[in-house]
Amino acid sequence: SKDRAGTLRANLAVLDKADAVLTEAHISTLDQDLAALKAIVGDQDQAVITWGNALATRRETIAALRTNLKRLDAVTWVTTSVQA
């Protein structure tokens, strides 16, 4: 269990790098790793809290980018249809 916690912490350490580019699939995997680590060390562990916040921020960023893309797609569609 201690070895498993070490492996999970090593996986989650990527979240300590603000410039790390993470795909949604990677974020999903990290969510699972965080849940597994929480089960071992508890949800009051400082690293668990920090990584949980980092994952939430990454998901919010992706959601904001999606919203912006939808807005841009809508503008492109209107512009194209007006030109026709």
Q: Go through 44-58 and write b for each residue having 16 or more CB atoms within 10 A of its CB, e for each that does not.
A: ebebbeebbebbeeb
Q: For 36-78, what is each residue's pLDDT tens digit?
A: 999 999 999 999 999 999 999 999 999 999 999 988 888 766 6
The pLDDT, as a whole number, for residue 80 is 64
Whether the full predicted model's pTM is greater than 0.75, yes or no, is yes
Nearest-5° angle of CA 53, CA 58, CA 14? 80
